[in-house]
């Protein structure tokens, strides 16, 4: 098996030859950061996917992110190195279920978290990410909102709006399984540390956090805050990224691993470039409808 240095060299060479860029989510393995053209949160990655001139996008993240890239750049070759890199949260709702919700709440706008499959985005009015959910919701004219699929993000948004929100009962098990009492015990070991939590965590966990934000907002908060120590409450990979971005501060992980985010390896990235694995294909009608929901979000955010 080739060592990492050899893999990095081969990937960098092939990337140039194939006019490809590699987009990497913050939760990916640290060795994947090494081949990234850009590392970021869901919102930043969708922006990069929309504006790149490269012909091929290798997406090191999960399938809904690669689908979003394909929807925004339908003429580009978007590759997901490992087809097992799904998202259990995204799989918790189908387009048929969204249509039934619409029938039950006809006055409500459908806001879907970007962690949804393309078919769900296609029947939504607008998308949002953890970075812009409150802003998107509050910018809509509707007083009633169907928010899906994450109930924890939905409850967080409800606490920042006067609108009536109907929340779908989905969750991310990586965040759902992080417990408030364990966090309080962990904090006792690091009493001076500020707690930064992702809004996919449960409400009681968010109540003990000093700051709640998506993965893209964490470095900025740590940089600008007086504290030199932070407890990072989300997927474990985020701490690596924060240590890279803000090396002068200390970060402690209170986290779970996402097996989907960790499913991509350097070997798979190389193979994806060598053998064009695995191109994202989506029906044109779904892409066109889903694009409306995503571009509306990008315009508002
Ligand atoms: P961010 O948009 O905050 O990067 O989150 C994506 C995600 O999958 C969180 O579990
Ligand atoms: Fe999906 Fe949760 Fe993994 Fe994010 S952390 S990709 S929401 S399963």
**pLDDT tens-digit series, residues 240-297:** 999 999 999 999 999 999 999 999 999 999 999 999 999 999 999 999 999 999 999 9
Mean pLDDT of 220-245: 98
pLDDT band at 89 (very low <50, low <70, confident <90, very high): very high
Give the Å distance between the CA of 282 and the centre of ligand 1.
Answer: 22
Share of the chain above pLDDT 90, in %: 98
What secondary structure, in 3-state letters, does the chain show?
Answer: CCCHHHHHHHHHHHHHHCCEEEEEECCCCHHHHCCCCEEECHHHHHHHHHHCCCCEEEEECCHHHHHHHHHHCCCCEEECCCCCCCCCCHHHCCHHHHHHHHHHCCCCEEEEECCCCHHHHHCCCEEECCCCHHHHHHHCCCCEEEEECEHHHHHHHHCCCCCEEEECCECCHHHHCCCHHHHHHHHHHCCCCEEEECCCCCHHHHHCCCEECCHHHHHHHHHHCCCCEEEEEEECHHHHHHHHHCCCCEEEEEEECCCCHHHCCHHHHHHHHHHCCCECCCCHHHHHHHHHHHHHHHHHC
Closest CA to ligand 2's atom 7: 172
**Looking at residue 1, what is its pLDDT?**
56
Give the Å distance between the CA of 258 and the centre of ligand 2.
Answer: 6
Mean pLDDT of 121-149: 97
Mean pLDDT of 80-101: 98
User: pLDDT of 14-50, one tens digit each?
Assistant: 999 999 999 999 999 999 999 999 999 998 999 999 9
pLDDT band at 133 (very low <50, low <70, confident <90, very high): very high
**Looking at residue 3, what is its pLDDT?**
85
Domains of the chain, start order:
4-85+262-280 (3.40.50.10800), 90-171 (3.40.50.10800), 174-256 (3.40.50.10800)
Answer yes or no: is the C-beta of 215 below 6 A from any ligand 1 atom. yes
């Amino acid at each position: 098996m080739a060592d990492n240095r050899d893999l990095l060299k081969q990937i960098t060479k092939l990337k140039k030859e194939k006019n490809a860029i590699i987009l990497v989510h913050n939760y990916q393995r640290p060795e994947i950061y090494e081949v990234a053209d850009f590392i970021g949160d869901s919102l930043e990655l969708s922006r990069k996917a929309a504006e790149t001139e490269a012909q091929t996008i290798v997406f090191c993240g999960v399938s809904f992110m690669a689908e979003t890239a394909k929807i925004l750049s339908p003429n580009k070759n978007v590759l997901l190195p490992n087809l097992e890199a799904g998202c259990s949260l995204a799989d918790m709702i189908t387009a048929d279920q969204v249509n039934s919700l619409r029938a039950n709440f006809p006055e409500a706008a459908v806001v879907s978290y970007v962690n949804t499959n393309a078919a769900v985005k296609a029947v939504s009015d607008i998308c949002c990410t953890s970075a812009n959910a409150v802003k998107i919701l509050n910018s809509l004219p509707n007083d009633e909102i169907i928010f899906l699929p994450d109930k924890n993000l939905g409850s967080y948004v409800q606490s920042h709006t006067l609108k009536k929100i109907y929340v779908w009962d989905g969750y991310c098990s990586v965040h759902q399984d992080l417990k408030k009492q364990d966090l309080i015990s962990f904090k006792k070991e690091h009493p001076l540390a500020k707690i930064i939590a992702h809004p996919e965590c449960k409400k009681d966990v968010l109540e003990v956090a000093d700051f709640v934000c998506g993965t893209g907002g964490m470095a900025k908060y740590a940089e600008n805050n007086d504290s030199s120590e932070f407890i990072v409450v989300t997927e474990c990979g985020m701490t690596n990224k924060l240590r890279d971005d803000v090396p002068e501060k200390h970060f402690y992980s209170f986290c779970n691993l996402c097996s989907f985010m960790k499913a991509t390896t350097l070997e798979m990235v190389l193979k994806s470039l060598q053998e064009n694995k695995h191109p994202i294909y989506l029906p044109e009608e779904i892409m066109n409808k889903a694009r409306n929901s995503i571009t509306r979000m990008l315009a508002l955010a």
